[in-house]
Each structure stands twice: as C-alpha cells, then as structure tokens.
Structure 1
Amino acid sequence: MSTYKQTCTNLLELSNSKVTEWLASFDTVITDCDGVLWIYGNALEGSVDVMNQFKAMGKKIYFCTNNSTKTRAELLKKGLELGFRITEEGIISTAHATAAYLKQRKFDKRVYVIGSEGITQELDKVGIKHTQCGPDPMQGPLGEFMAKHLKLDSDIGAVVVGFDENFSFPKMMKAASYLNDPKCLFVATNTDERFPMPNMVVPGSGSFVKAIQTCSERTPTVIGKPNPAICESLLNPKKIDPARTLMIGDRANTDILLGFNCGFQTLLVGSGIHHLSDVDQWRKSKDPEDKKLIPDVYLPKLGDLLPAIVNSQTGGSY
C-alpha cells in the first residue's frame, strides 16, 4: 500500500529523498490524456519529457483515455507527433476496449452505434457488424416520423453509446426500442458528463448515456474509467501489479476513482477538471463515495515532476 494513500500529498512539498522513494514505488504508469498530457491537441509543458523519462527509467507506460472518437491508431499518431515514445499496444481507448469486450463475449449480431467512427472502425477490426455513424434528424412531426420514417432493424443485438455530436431524438428512440428486448446488450463507452470550456459547456458521452438509460429503463455496462473493465487486458493476464501501478489523471471521478477501484496508486494533476479545492470538499463530505475521489499525491501539472526525476537519476538537487 502506498505511504500516501488518499492523503493528496503535494509532491512539491516533499524532500528530494522522499520523492525519489516515491518514484521507486511503482513500475507501471497509466495516464489519462486530455488535461494531463495535452489540451486541445497541444502538449502540456513538460508532459512529454516526464513520460519519456518514465519509459527511460524502465517503467511500463500506458495512455488510457475515455475518448471514444479516436481509434488506437489515431491516438498513436497524435502521441508520436507530439513527441511521446509510445506504441499502439500502450494505448487503452474506450473504442478499442468496447470492441474487445464484445469480441471476447463472442457477439455475433449487429451493433446499433450512437457515437463516432472511432467506435465503428474498432468494431470493423474485430469483424463485428454495425450501423453507420452520422446525422439521423427528426423528419416531420412525431406522428409522421413514427408512421413513415421510423425503421427498426431485426438483427441488432447491442446498443453502444459514446460521444455523438449528431445525437438526436430519433437515435434515442431507436436505441430505447432496441433495448426493450432484454437480450439486447447496452454498452456505454464512458460516462463523462461534460467538457467545460471557456464560456460554454460541451455535453459529454455520459449525457447521451443517461438520456438513453432513462428512456430505456436499462442500466448500461460501462467500459471506460472508472470501471476496471477498461484495464481488463492488463489486469486479467496479470501484466501489471496493481500495488506498483500509478494512475495519473485530472478528473477524480474517472481517473482517480479508476485507481481506487483497481488498487493503483494515484496522482491528481491540477491541469484539467479537478483541483485542490475539490479535494477539500471531498474531505469534508460525509458521503463515503466522495472519499474514494481523494488521490494519494498531487501536482499542479505533470511537468512539475521533471526536476525530481532528473534529481533521482543524478543524485543532485532540484
């Protein structure tokens, strides 16, 4: 068990020797991407150097994202262009994990997809049939739509919901209708509620999932963080030792909670969604679920760790 278990210890306030000791306490690093490594396609200062230093130190590196709009190949291309030394096998994405989930269960019907081509391309790679992505607008008043335009396919065996900028009333209606069959699987890539941006809020996949969940009166199997299913490929074959694995994230209710659920060490960075002010609120809360969101250690941003890593390798000061 980590010395700093759920203490939210600021690594910048520890001595050189303590940080070096902490760095030696894990062999595997699993990190979120957006808000930790990059924002809007631009690498955050120092993140590339820190991750590449981790790899140079011999640690296993995995990028783990709830973003279902990209395939692993696309995420690899983006990472390499930014300078990260990663491989496709080191990328864990909800689109790929969703396809793997269905394949492992020998799914042989067709998938109704609410999402993007990131999902459909990963389904194609494992030979699973699916509907196409894109707009499905309301055509006329509801009565006219139901009488003339609503068509349900008879071979749908699963509904997969991810981020869909073309989400619509007809899509929700079709999904719920398919899910009326109790044998139809209901799979959500992730349940991130929203993406805060300056002066606006962009709905996340969780907003669409919740709408369909309410309409269908069904509870989905959630593949993405914080569900351990996202790390099934690492945990089941015992590729990693959970106690010696560090989970890095900027969102506590996905990244840090995943770490708690899997028995990983956790590091919260303040370069994205959640900050120390949020941790203070969870500490005061009487809800035991809030306590699970408190990380072991904290940094303002991942790049702040670079001097400490250099120090641990040289024996100098920082």
Structure 2
Amino acid sequence: MSQKAALLIGKLDHTRKEWEEVGQVASKLYEYPDGSRSDFIDKCRNGEFNGVFAMFRSNESNSITGNFDEELVEALPSSLKFICHNGAGYDNIDVAACTKRGIQVSSTPIAVNDATADVAMFLILGALRNVTQCFQAVRQGRWRGNFKLGHDPRNKILGILGMGGIGSAVATRAKAFGMKIQYHNRNRLPENEENGATYVSFEELLKTSDVLSLNLALNKSTRHIIAKPQFDMMKDGIVIVNTARGPLIDEAALVDALNSGKVSTAGLDVFEEEPKIHQGLLDNENVVLLPHIGTATFETQRDMELLVLDNLKSALKEEKLLTQVPEQRK
C-alpha cells in the first residue's frame, strides 16, 4: 500500500462511506472535524499530521481554520502535496503560497454549474418582476403592497461577465426565456462553445446589457470589478445579478446606484462582507436577497463532495488532480 496519508478538515454530510473507502488507497486517514485555527496550526507544527500527502478541505473548513493564507500554508506538513478543496470558489486559499510550497490545489467546477445557474435565473426573473415588494407585503397582510409592474425577460439583452461553466449554464437557461445573450471573458471562447452568444468588450457589455450577470472568480484583478465608474457606463435601469462572489461589486456603490435609479433592481446571493449585508440593500425593496444558497441542494452538495474525493484518490494514486485550479495549470 502507498505510504501516503489523507486528511479531512471539517465534516462530510453526504459521502462518509466514500471517504472511508479512500482508506483502500491511503496509508492512513486523519480527520480534524472541528477546532480552531491556532490549534490546527499547532498540530501541524507538532507533527501530528506528518505523512499526510493529500487533504480534503470541506465546505465548512474555513470556519474551523480560517483562510489558507501564507501563514497557514507554511505550517502545513512538508509531506503535503495536494489540497482538494470543496467549492467552485477558492479565494480563501493563497494559491501562490501553495505553489511556492509545491502544493497543488483543486476546486469543484462542473459540479456546481446547474444549481448555481438555477439560482441566477431565479434572481434574474425575481429582479425583473420586482418580487421582493410582493413577497413582503403578502405576508404582512398588505396584499401586493407597494406593487409596480415588472418586465418580461423576452428580448432583453443579458450580459454575462465570465462565460465559464456557470455562465454558460445561465446562458442556456436565459435563452429559453427569450433573452439575447452577450458575454465578456479575458479571452473569447471558441465559436463552437459560444452557443450563439455574442462576444463583446467589457465596456460594450456594460453599456448595452439590460441585465448583467456576474459569473467570474474573485481574485486581486476582479475585486470591485463593478464599482462607480462601471455603473456610470451602464444603461439607466439596468438589472444586476451576482451569484459568484460578493466583493466583485463595490456594495456601497451599488446602493448608491440603486437609490439613484441607475440600477433598477438587483438579485444577490453573495455579499461583500457576508453574512453581514449592507443596510442599504436590506432597506431597498427593489433588491432580491438570498443567503448564499447557490449550490445548496442535496444533489449538488453530494456531487461536490464526490468530485473532491475523485481528486483526492487521483492525487494518492497518480499524483495528479482532475480539476486543478487554472493558476497552476501548465
């Protein structure tokens, strides 16, 4: 048997049996189900996880250890070569620090595409139809409350910023509602992957979209990619939807744009300082708010855990990852 141990940080909700089966290819299975950042770092430095070759970083692990920043990465056992992260977003892992240490990192794209795109479409429709006012009023016995007519999605131009797996899944759903799709990436997709969508510049996307959906990763270059200068370029009355990461948007600038009418409505599943939400968003009846539930289905959560385990087993058996993060791909 390979002398390579595996470590699980956090708990598993859907694949406990499959995790235990990893013991067939790992020399030992370690678990750190709860604790604190300082305790975890101490255990690493004291050699309790020596021999760990690959790590399963669960959905809840960040609440236990905090970010995998340079300090924590430096404390990890020297034997560790692979971090298999459960999540499409991995902005809480310092990939550069991992690369410097010779540690490869994987995430869970593909597994999250459909569930996240479903929520994005829910928010697009909800924002277009101004559902928050009615949701609140009917439960308060005020029937429709401060009701006003919404808009049909048909013939609206949907701008997708980040046409990866999730963005493409959003486009497919939006086309079924009669929306016209345009997108911007750093690089244009091959024509056979565009599925009829039109590639435009970032500036053109902002100027011409009726609805803007954010579906890109958070990193240093994309933080506050949508702020006051970008809002100023947009059509009056644009709809903004974000199911990616909160800090992509300058939240204070979004509140100002909503109050001025530049942005008519917004649909948000993520927030800049979540779980804290800007009071200006909470007070605005034109905003549809969800508490980061884009991947919160039984099916998707299980698929994510299984993909992490597939990466873990590939690391243990073949010393390579199936869905390595783009920054480390050659």
Q: Tell which has more relative contact order, 1 or 2 (C-alpha 8 A, sep 6+).
A: 1
Same fold (TM over 0.5): no
TM-score with structure 2 length normalisation? 0.31
